[in-house]
Structure 1
């Protein structure tokens, strides 16, 4: 399960037109480094998969969080200028909770959201001790560094669909809070829909009903996952990864809507825009996994690439994008 940390310190938003046909070779994010673009990396040259980004109170330092590794359950690093990053500074979730299976206590694809000036919620995926399926948990802290304290039970599960993964939070205009997730249907040969559901003011109590936003189409290579929702200037941008994460086809696409609950239209942007809807790595590198965002006028984003340029076996290092532009439904990397 990968995570393109579209830790979009999103300072922007976009829209587009979906094409059911396979696109021509896109401009690949890492290739933009050679063209003088705004993609740089690796900025964390260590195993730091599925990075999630947050800018607490809108002021530096930035924080990034990763999937479990030898560095901890949820390792985190910081940066004061979004150029130079510290090494791993600590473990933000040393205890993922009693509901997590002791046979496999790893945590995947964390996402951290600031709910109040001193209140933070972390969403994360782990195996449930009760049924062995992936579920989503929530943990809270008064600081972005944690340690986050987990809730006693997972906040959402779906055993019939294959479990659920890749939780991400979203705050809509006006302050309404939402949780998004992917049904891990590909684990059972099923579809992989992405859902959204309202949250209470505490940032982790589900309310109302879940709404499906998108699901996988043939052009997606059988999978959509690792979603990150961003709002800017009238458009909701749903970034997501498609194709299998352990292949060089793994990429990042997006869909747009004028309503938080859809309907969403998948976007086929043109390469002349140096489109963000492109394979996130060159041919000799795997693209990124999931994503998170932080918004203003432009978007800052983080993602990961395979360290060995072939697959995830050697780990995944963090890269970043500065100045991702969202305009009239089109997301583009400045180049």
Structure 2
């Protein structure tokens, strides 16, 4: 779509496919609809979450992700700006009987690692083989950094780990403690973020994520592969998408459809950050873009 639609996620509904995006204009959670993941995508002129919760500022809602849970209802994970400390975001949850709402946000943050900078970029995952549910997310360490790129380009750089939290069948009750899957390295620049997890047909777990700052031409979509959901994850040195691939600029924020094979992500465009769609295939050791 040729409009600002950052950090997109995607889900199949009963009457088509839906994509959701970070706040833009007067909408906190944007939504678009298409008959297939490949489109054509039509922007819906509604705000799915005009009230993201009393704990938020009601503005700057990031990276919404919608999942259907076992009872057929829906959970939306999102990053809300803290009213008590606007320098930080934490993860909230909202629930609804239908994809298009009405959505009801919880009164308190769902995950909020404020001591390490907050928590953002949640993405749900159902392991079809085990029936267990998880949410991956980022600890937003760069929000307490020393400055530079995305506020974490100056030493000592803060950790920005990607975490895995198991949840119950309702998608919101946490089970046990979160597990760290990976963290930024020098090759990632100031951060890693925007995690998304799938299980490939060969049984391996593929963790997509972005590195570098979203304002930089170095922003990209990377991936790591593991034999178990909790890792260890083996990073691949070559990104799946980076600036220059397919004429893209600063691609990132990718989310796959649940069964894999197709993903949405954003890249810079005249309108801001537009949504793109790509096909991909997973081998035992690599992910290949079609």
What is the TM-score normalised by the length of structure 1?
A: 0.77
Task: Measure the CA separation in 1 of the matches of 2:285 and 2:94.
Answer: 33
The answer on whether the counterparts of 1:77 and 1:90 sit within 8 Å (CA) in structure 2 is no
- State the superposition RMSD in angstroms: 1.9
The answer on whether the counterparts of 1:164 and 1:181 sit within 8 Å (CA) in structure 2 is yes
Structure 2 residue runs of 5 or longer lacking an equivalent are: 146-157
Say yes or no: does 1:194 pair with 2:162: yes
Match of 1:187, SS?
Answer: helix
In the TM superposition, what is the alpha-carbon distance from 1:151 to its structure 2 partner? 0.9
Say yes or no: does 1:86 pair with 2:42: yes
More strand by percentage: 2
The alignment covers a number of residue pairs equal to 274
The answer on whether the counterparts of 2:254 and 2:266 sit within 8 Å (CA) in structure 1 is no
In the TM superposition, what is the alpha-carbon distance from 1:92 to its structure 2 partner? 1.5
- Mapping for residues 1-335 of structure 1, pairs under 5 Å: 44-56=1-13, 61-81=16-36, 82-102=38-58, 105-116=59-70, 118-132=72-86, 133-172=88-127, 173-189=129-145, 190-232=158-200, 233-269=202-238, 277-279=240-242, 281-282=244-245, 285-296=248-259, 299-308=261-270, 314-322=271-279, 324-334=280-290
Task: Encode CA deviations 1:10-54: one digit per residue, 9 max, x unaligned.
Answer: xxxxxxxxxxxxxxxxxxxxxxxxxxxxxxxxxx11111111111
Task: Measure the CA separation in 1 of the matches of 2:277 and 2:123.
Answer: 19
Task: Encode CA deviations 1:64-113: one digit per residue, 9 max, x unaligned.
Answer: 001011151111010003221112242211211111125xx221011111
Task: Measure the CA separation in 1 of the matches of 2:175 and 2:226.
Answer: 22
Task: Measure the CA separation in 2 of the matches of 1:226 and 1:139.
Answer: 19
Task: Encode CA deviations 1:205-262: one digit per residue, 9 max, x unaligned.
Answer: 2220111000001111131100100101210000000011101110011011111111
In the TM superposition, what is the alpha-carbon distance from 1:129 to its structure 2 partner? 2.0
2:148 aligns with: none
Task: Measure the CA separation in 2 of the matches of 1:250 and 1:238.
Answer: 17
Q: 1:200 to 1:295 in 2, by over 3 A?
A: closer
